[in-house]
Amino acid sequence: MLDTVFFSHDLLPALNKGLLVSLALIIPAGSLGFVGGVLLGCMRVFGPHWLRRLGDWYTALLRGVPLAVQLMMIYYALPKLGIYFAPYGAALTSFILCTAAYQSEYVRGALLSIRQGQIRAAQALGFSTWQTVIWIIVPQAARRALPGCGNEIIYLIKYSSLAYLVTCMELMGEGKVVASDTFRFTEVFLTVGAYYLIMVTLATWLLRWLERRFHIPGFGAR
Amino acid sequence: MSAEREEVLRIEGISKKLGGKPILDNCSLTVHRGELKVLIGPSGAGKSTLLQCIDCLIPPDCGEIWLEGQRLAMNDKRGLCAYRAQVGMIFQDFNLFDHLTAEENVAIALRKVRGMSRKEAKARALEELGRVGLARRALLYPAQLSGGQKQRVAIARTLAMDPRVILLDEPTSALDPELVGEVLAVIRDLARGGMTMIMATHQMDFARALASEILFMERGRIIEQGVPDVLLAEGSATRTRDFCAHLLEMGA
């Protein structure tokens, strides 16, 4: 039957410890990656030609190479160039760089969806370029980008489990250790899966709430 | 007759090529205080481009613009913003800011460009919305307004900036026929109140009744101009009259 001692003494304490590390990866990677994505997206839409090209190349590279490979490069290859990362630092850096690339795609799409006419109207009222971007384009683009960016955060929660590849002991890593020690793979990974499912569910609720909070008639159906 | 009237806006020799094709060819015009100049002409004649060039939304290739005797330096960004804040522009498809209520649409430029406080801007916005008959719609978003109401909000937004002159680019063309009247009524009140305006339109009855002068454009040039009674007089062999007769035949 259900071995409660195994759960309460071995598995859950280990997973809770891993959960804290996971959260310490997801929250900063999610927020910094989002900020990076907004900057990168703006750069790719409003920047001078060379900057757009640079942004496009960056995105193509980060989206085109598996995240596991990027992690390996940052953790194992960069030291050859004299750049050393602790496991946590390597994972966090890699997640920020990767999620920013994906976020920039959602942001770019949202920025391009703002009708040219509104930009003209703002200029005709005497807005400078920056005022137009800040007061007219960004508030609308943010609402358009929210569902996509939220989706990326959900992905991030799950791909944070790759951090164990570079020995950063988060939820997945702790689970793996317990499983190899006890050979109880089924119980361990069912529980790990449940942890992720709960995190994703909470994040989904939060994102729904944000969408409702910032809803405006005319932006998507309700 | 307008010799002693004060000149508000003068443009000289405005030309514009897009993709190698000349769209505007050496256009010049002068507007005096309180005048309503009406631009007419077939589609593709360059009316819309001319109005956007006057507001420098499309930078002209060459030509000069004077507002109240001051020459506009088109490459000075600050000066350009200050100029545009004094020249109102009404678009065919309204171009309201979709994320702002009617009231905020009017108030935002007052706050960000004119530097008014939130409270002052709100009071002024409500006043202008009242002037176009929309005080009770102040809290609605563009998606909740009819086309005619949207255009009236756009007019209120422009009026709030106290423009020296307003450019109207076919303000009723995108409206359902039953909504045209409410927008024309607002523009008529402005004209009677002495607002200086340049308007591109196909509403010939309106032009005939209110225009100080009609400018007829074709292939990027202003080819005829004069008071409506002369240009449209029975038996006058003008292009303007031909065009209007043609519009009538088409049932416009």
- CATH numbers and ranges of domains, chain B: 3-92+167-249 (3.40.50.300)
**B16 — phi, psi (to 5°)?**
-150, 130
Q: Which residues of A touch B157 (CB under 8 A)?
A: 125
Distance in angstroms (rounded) separating the CA atoms of residues A24 and A17: 11
Report field, pTM of the whole predicted structure over 0.90: no
Q: Which pLDDT tens digit goes with each residue over B155-210? A: 999 999 999 999 999 999 999 988 999 999 999 999 999 999 999 998 888 888 89
* Chain A touched by B109 (CB under 8 Å): yes
> Do A125 and B55 make contact, defined as CB atoms within 8 angstroms?
no
> What contacts B52, CB < 8 A, 6 or more positions away?
A120, B58, B89, B169
> What contacts A158, CB < 8 A, 6 or more positions away?
A196, A200
Q: How far is A40 from chain B, CA to nearest CA, in Å?
A: 23
Q: Which pLDDT tens digit goes with each residue over B8-66? A: 999 999 999 988 889 999 999 999 999 999 999 888 899 999 999 999 999 999 999 99
* Chain B touched by A48 (CB under 8 Å): no
In contact, A143 and B99? CB cutoff 8 Å: yes
> Do A217 and B157 make contact, defined as CB atoms within 8 angstroms?
no
Q: How large is the ipTM?
A: 0.90
Q: Which residue of A has its CA nearest to B167?
A: A124
Q: How far is B105 from chain A, CA to nearest CA, in Å?
A: 10
What number of other Cβ atoms are within 10 A of residue B33's Cβ?
16
- Across the A:B interface, residue pairs with CB atoms under 8 Å apart total 76
Q: Which residues of A touch B112 (CB under 8 A)?
A: 127, 131, 135
